[in-house]
Amino acid sequence: MTAPRTLLMNARKQLGDAGVASPEVDAAILLAHVLDTDRNRLFLVDDVSTDDEAAYADLLVRRARREPLQHLTGVAYFRHVELAVGPGVFVPRPETELLAGWAIDRATGLDRPVVVDLCTGSGAIAKAIADEVAGAHVHAVELSEDAYPWAVRNLAGTGVDLRQGDMADAFTDLDGSVDVIACNPPYIPLEAWESVAAEARDHDPDLALFSGQDGLDAIRVLERRAAELLRPGGVVGFEHADEQGPNGDRGGAPAVFAATGRWQDVRDHLDLAGRPRFTTAQLAP
């Protein structure tokens, strides 16, 4: 039997030495997971049993090897919803909540808005929109055979129209009728492989990460498909790497849309750290 305080102190050092970005938080989350409690209630625990301590030690070793925290707990939180995640599906990041929030704001107030989540992955954006926008008709598509079952699980009972397929030709039955499109596409350049954090590079699926030599291939596909799906005046928002903002090479991700002449009000948006994070645009009448 060991006191939680002692376990957490040792765990913080173990994870910090391994290069984990948030060792204190991760150590507490993993211990709370083992004890089936909330990390804010760990102070109520007097001692940890030998069996639980062994289970905790195993999880710490795996986290120190940079296995994603969410794979170890099986859960990711996104805005107000909970998602099941694991091998084969991209773990949603907090930054993407800003894109989802933009889509929710644009859909709110519309009469029965039609919203499409392209490259849905775990279903995070689609589930958040269905949760927060009353009366919305939400559609989502995912290409990966490994990720799709996770989306099925997460979107069950939400009313979201989930399909498996390529965003390049998805939802032809909705052409010209969509109000809002949100997309978190792959956008990492192939040449940047070594610079990607170990948690993503070694555990997130390549299909969700990499997109051609400049990282913009999927965004080019999105531009063409969004122009077909949206009604005149409809809007699209998509995430990109911070290096792909308007000051990036050749104008970055926003330039993909601005250069075609099909879009107006092309804007880039910063994340909470002040970095370029997502672009929005409106289909011209």
> Of the residues 44, 65, 86, which one is the last residue of a structural domain?
65
140 shares its domain with 279: yes
In the block, residue with structure tokens 């799906």: 229
177 shares its domain with 248: yes
d(CA 245, CA 28): 35
Q: Is 268 helix (H, G, I), strand (E, B) or coil?
A: strand
Residue 70 in any domain: the answer is no
9 shares its domain with 131: no
247 appears as a binding residue in the annotation: no
135 shares its domain with 55: no
148 appears as a binding residue in the annotation: no
First-last CA distance in the chain: 69
Residue 208 in any domain: the answer is yes
Residue 235 pairs with which residues in a beta bridge? 180, 282
143 shares its domain with 194: yes
d(CA 53, CA 102): 43
142 appears as a binding residue in the annotation: yes
Tokens standing for residue 65: 């090897």
Position 248 scores a pLDDT of: 63
- Here the CATH number for the domain that contains residue 181 is 3.40.50.150
- Closest residue by Cα to residue 252 from 243, 260, 261: 243
82's enclosing H/E stretch is strand 81-84
Q: Work out how many domains the chain is built from and give that number.
A: 2
Q: What is the DSSP string of 171-194?
A: TGGGTT-EEEEEE----B-GGGGG
235 shares its domain with 155: yes
20 shares its domain with 124: no
105 shares its domain with 160: yes
Residue 96 in any domain: the answer is yes
Question: What pTM did the predictor assign?
Answer: 0.91
Residue pLDDT tens, the chain, 285 long: 788 899 999 999 999 999 999 999 999 999 999 999 988 899 888 889 999 999 999 999 999 999 999 999 999 999 999 999 999 999 999 999 999 999 999 999 899 999 999 999 999 999 999 999 999 999 999 999 999 999 999 999 999 999 999 999 999 999 999 999 999 999 888 776 666 678 777 788 877 878 888 889 999 999 999 999 999 999 999 999 888 888 766 568 999 999 999 999 999 999 989 999 999 999 998
45 shares its domain with 133: no
Residue 171 in any domain: the answer is yes
232 appears as a binding residue in the annotation: no
Position 250 scores a pLDDT of: 57
Amino acid letter, 170? A
184 appears as a binding residue in the annotation: yes
125 shares its domain with 266: yes
- Here the CATH number for the domain that contains residue 47 is 1.10.8
d(CA 213, CA 154): 32
> Of the residues 65, 95, 114, which one is the last residue of a structural domain?
65
Position 194 scores a pLDDT of: 66
- Closest residue by Cα to residue 141 from 172, 163, 174: 163
| Domain carrying residue 267 | 75-283
204 shares its domain with 265: yes
Position 207 scores a pLDDT of: 79
187 shares its domain with 251: yes
> Of the residues 34, 65, 96, which one is the last residue of a structural domain?
65
The DSSP output letter for 195 is G
